[in-house]
């Protein structure tokens, strides 16, 4: 039996749009969703007509982070390395990547936001680094998140795990701009139109210039942080916290 598609891909003019559509787990980064996201990025990169890539989501959650039902059932190091590699893939993509953000954005999903070149958020979108509440730390996504945010903002949001809105995310540097949700599509379209005026070589080389420090950080620390993530996921304290979380969510 063929699995239902979790990521949709379409192109209009110079823009390729990759849409998460996995309502059963709030667009969590399951193995299938990540694999399909890679296929979308590969297709956009190979299409000479595409200048800009947009990542967006259906439903009221952009991405809920790691798929805890998968994470709790086996070793996590490969899963964490997958998140590391996904961030690197977005950063090194030769075409600008824009994230369109609304609803809830959590944990690993914020790594996609931080790895993207431009992030346009609804001002009432909800962000949180919830790892601390699950006896974890945002290890893998810190590779791209920490260079975007101020140290004080990172300390407050990482250590409390509390929610903050799109307007706050923009003030912290996590997203590029926050607008009312009714204006979100128009703002994304305007940004894409501006990006699409760039010559392919100019876009590619400018992305290399802007992303050098992120790539260096990923390559130097990604392996160690994936090991840290796996160690914490495998701990008794984290397993107990994740089981309690999954039980509450299914009630």
How many CB atoms neighbour CB 88 within 10 A? 20
Token code pair at residue 232: 């914490």
Q: What is the pLDDT of residues 160-213, one digit of tens each?
A: 999 999 999 999 999 999 999 999 999 999 999 999 999 999 999 999 999 999
Q: Are 136 and 232 in contact (CB under 8 A)?
A: yes
How many residues are present in the chain?
251
- CATH code at 7-184: 3.90.226.10
Token code pair at residue 107: 């944990």
Positions in the chain whose pLDDT score sits under 50? none
pLDDT for residue 207: 97
Q: Give one DSSP letter per residue of 184-202, joined into a string.
A: HHHHHHHHHHHHHTS-HHH
C-alpha–C-alpha distance, residues 145 and 141, integer Å: 6
Integer angstrom CA distances of residue 205 from 18, 119, 186, 217 = 23, 20, 27, 19
pLDDT for residue 3: 78
- Write down the domain spans for the chain: 7-184
Q: What is the pLDDT of residues 141-152, one digit of tens each?
A: 999 999 999 999
C-alpha–C-alpha distance, residues 170 and 172, integer Å: 5
């Amino acid at each position: 039996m063929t699995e239902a598609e979790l990521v949709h891909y379409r192109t209009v003019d110079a823009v390729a749009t990759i849409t998460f559509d996995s309502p059963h787990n709030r667009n969590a980064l399951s193995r299938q969703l990540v694999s399909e996201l890679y296929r979308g990025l590969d297709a956009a990169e190979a299409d000479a007509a595409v200048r800009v890539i947009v990542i967006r989501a259906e439903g009221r959650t952009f991405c809920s982070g790691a798929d805890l039902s998968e994470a709790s059932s086996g070793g996590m190091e490969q899963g964490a390395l997958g998140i590391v590699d996904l961030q690197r893939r977005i950063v090194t993509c030769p075409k600008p990547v824009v994230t369109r953000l609304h609803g809830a954005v959590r944990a690993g999903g914020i790594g996609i936001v931080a790895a993207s070149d431009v992030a346009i958020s609804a001002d009432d979108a909800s962000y949180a680094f919830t790892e601390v509440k699950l006896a974890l730390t945002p290890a893998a996504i810190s590779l791209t998140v920490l260079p975007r945010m101020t140290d004080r903002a990172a300390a407050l949001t990482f250590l409390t795990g509390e929610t903050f809105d799109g307007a706050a995310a923009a003030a912290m540097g996590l997203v590029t701009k926050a607008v009312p949700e009714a204006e979100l599509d128009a703002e994304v379209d305007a940004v894409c139109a501006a990006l699409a005026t760039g010559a392919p070589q100019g876009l590619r080389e400018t992305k290399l210039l802007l992303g050098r420090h992120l790539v260096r950080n990923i390559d130097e620390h990604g392996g160690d942080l994936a090991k840290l993530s796996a160690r914490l996921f495998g701990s008794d304290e984290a397993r107990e916290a994740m089981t309690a979380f999954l039980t509450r969510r299914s009630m």
